[in-house]
A and B are shown apart, each in its own frame.
Chain A
């Protein structure tokens, strides 16, 4: 065993223990990776155009299955959450939305974990869920 008590990827990927902010951190990583893989897959998918119409049509058929629709709904959800939470992070990381630093009083409530930030995270998750439901309803003609 290493003398260094580093948790490694396991510790980074564990979303529990620290509340909604850590869950948002974890979702941001997962959705970022998911969108990266989708982007690579998307380039592969559209490059099938170079092999003619038949190749393109057969590739499109893959997305017309139930699994394909669910996959696309997940991509919609990942995209919406990553955008919403990304905007929250850009604003916060520029130092806005925390109020002024002040002397802490017990019981301590950190300004960085304020309700505005939590609300933005819940809104991002909610919007992602709504967008996924809308996408599913369009794709399955509900």
Chain B
């Protein structure tokens, strides 16, 4: 779509509809990177992703390419992936270790940096004698303007100002609390595999879909039916119940009424929570062993409180979709108005029975692997939405009317009147407008 010189950002969002330029206009997209992704907190990675000194992973914050790494003193740093000399990317691999010297070495002129970004050495230093001190800040790899850690989950902000991480997360903290609390040791450990999948659609379409309770039984009809069929076939042939993965998939075709009975909660800054629908506390030996492990640490009452937390999905706006009871996380990296990279991870719960990890792994495989039978149909819808939104004709607006004005708000927190209310989309666009217009 051509850049519209007359675009007024403030007029793109109305209480019950948004203009298609929010999804399809490259100028709007550039503004989003600047005003949302470079101003809010963005998830970088988990501290267990870089367990040893010298370990690093690379990722994106808006337009910027960043490194998360661990220094010799054990500190985790978030740095811009840019050599201060001539601007080359320092780390050109997705991940790795900086070697025995625990130094990043620029591949162009061999400037070497400690893992906190400070310049350690460079060839023929005398060329700088009397010209510039090698400790000058402009010769160091720059750290992110701000960095913070919430229960092992590392965020960075490229803005020096703004709320601190915990204030900003607010009700979104449940994403990480619910993961960690389910571990008898109170900690999660990342599994060192990142599935990276490109969506040919705007980043917001993905986030909106995550809490869209109308779509699952339609979009995933084929997969839900196939899974339910196979549960019967499996039982007939083996005499045993099919593994839990089949149930995860069969659940996608729950009737509309069931989806409508759920509720979504909209928090400040655009974060959203979907109350759970999956039966993740069956009376099987794995669940019972998990209960026992938590009871041994916390007592029965607290164990029950932890495992009763009924959260299926948390959107940490604008960068994350988290499914705490299944320990999954999808980070959103917008590449263009119509192109989004998702980085998909899952976690183990320290001290929990192995069988609990098997559930997480089954969901990671069925829903999030590059062979997924679930997201195949989601991605197809996202692409169809994007293609339609990029048309010039056929209408200019996207409807967010469902249950508008009916969701009760208490102290800035909105609880949807039904599971299918388009509350999460409206809540995210309220935050969008706030970021994009500077709250004017």
Same complex origin of A and B: no
Residues of A in contact with B (beta carbons under 8 Å apart): none
